[in-house]
């Protein structure tokens, strides 16, 4: 049990000492995030030993040592400069996914119609609505629990997004849009063994995995739907498995999409495929 201390520097060091991880940098980052979130203190405050109210961190430390993501424990995650509510019904937004937003914003569209497929927390759809205020944004997800979270985020961030319960693999969609965007499941079952336990044991498998026998399952469905959903000259943006960039590019080209390009993330890995109808 962690004593209820009031010196922020002592508490910070004690939290770090209690985390049973191998990565010292990660320990430092998570301990600092806890202090910032729970006490609203900066690293400067901590180093100066600023006084803070006493708090028992025991349960939080136990959950962290069981590899539960800090974002689920705190109930929120950062995305594109905003905080989104998260829980185990939705994936935790990743910095790599912000590339989708940046690529769409490069188009400088004033009032596009946008469909976000597999919205999860709603981070993509909500961000696009807030960054392009005149956009008409819809978002679909097969998970009712995810849609509850997405709706809550939209309300908290004052974003007017229309959420739909639907399955891109089986349902028909008739509304035409000028932009389709998606961060679909793309991790193969084979890749599970290499995944961190905090992802594998806590984040929703429905939003993560595809069969080894059909890794392009969702990209194929999206490409098929683009024939009827996407307006002429409309744009399609998808996040991809770094190993499947060329496969997704060929798939989109085989479905009649043009100007298919691959963008890399900050680590130089294939991350986003863009196409035009």
pLDDT in the model for residue 31: 93
Which of 257, 256, 231 is closest to 178 using CA atoms?
231
Q: Which residue is associated with the tokens 């496969």?
A: 247
The secondary structure element, H or E, covering residue 79 is strand 76-79
Q: What 3-state DSSP class applies to 153?
A: helix
Question: 69 near 29, Cβ under 8 Å?
Answer: no
Which of 267, 277, 234, 275 is closest to 94 using CA atoms?
267
pLDDT in the model for residue 65: 93
Which of 23, 7, 11 is closest to 60 using CA atoms?
11
pLDDT in the model for residue 186: 83
Burial environment of residue 214 by CB neighbours within 10 A (0 to 12, 13 to 18, 19 or more): exposed
What's the pTM value of the predicted model, to 2 decimals?
A: 0.91
Question: 51 near 7, Cβ under 8 Å?
Answer: yes
pLDDT in the model for residue 273: 98
Local confidence pLDDT in tens for the 277 residues of the chain: 555 678 899 999 999 999 998 889 999 999 999 999 888 999 999 999 999 998 888 899 999 999 999 999 999 999 999 999 999 999 999 999 999 999 999 999 999 999 999 999 999 999 999 999 999 999 999 999 999 999 999 999 999 999 999 999 999 888 899 999 999 988 877 777 776 767 667 778 777 777 778 889 999 999 999 999 999 999 999 999 999 999 999 999 999 999 999 999 989 999 999 999 9
262: CB partners within 8 A, 6+ apart: 240, 245, 246, 249, 270, 272, 273
């Amino acid at each position: 049990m962690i004593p209820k201390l009031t010196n922020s520097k002592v508490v910070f060091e004690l939290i770090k000492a209690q985390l049973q991880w191998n990565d010292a940098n990660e320990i430092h980052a998570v301990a600092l995030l806890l202090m910032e979130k729970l006490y609203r203190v900066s690293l400067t405050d901590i180093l100066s030993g600023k006084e803070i109210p006493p708090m028992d961190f025991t349960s939080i430390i136990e959950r962290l040592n069981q590899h539960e993501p800090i974002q689920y424990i705190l109930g929120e995650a950062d995305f594109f400069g905003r905080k989104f509510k998260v829980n185990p019904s939705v994936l935790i937004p990743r910095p790599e996914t912000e590339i989708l937003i940046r690529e769409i914003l490069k188009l400088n569209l004033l009032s596009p119609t946008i469909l976000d497929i597999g919205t999860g927390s709603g981070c993509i759809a909500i961000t696009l609505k807030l960054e392009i205020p005149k956009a008409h944004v819809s978002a679909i997800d097969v998970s009712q629990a995810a849609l509850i979270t997405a709706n809550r985020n939209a309300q908290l961030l004052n974003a007017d997004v229309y959420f739909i319960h639907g399955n891109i693999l089986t349902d028909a969609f008739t509304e035409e849009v000028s932009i389709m965007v998606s961060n679909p499941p793309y991790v193969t079952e084979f890749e599970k063994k290499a995944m961190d336990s905090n992802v594998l044991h806590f984040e929703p498998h429905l939003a993560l995995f595809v069969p080894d026998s059909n890794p392009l399952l969702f990209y194929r469905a999206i490409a098929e739907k683009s024939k009827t959903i996407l307006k002429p000259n409309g744009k399609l943006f998808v996040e991809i498995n770094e190993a499947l960039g060329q496969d997704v590019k060929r798939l989109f080209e085989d479905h009649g999409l043009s100007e298919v390009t691959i963008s890399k993330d900050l680590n130089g890995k294939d991350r986003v495929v863009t196409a035009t109808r």
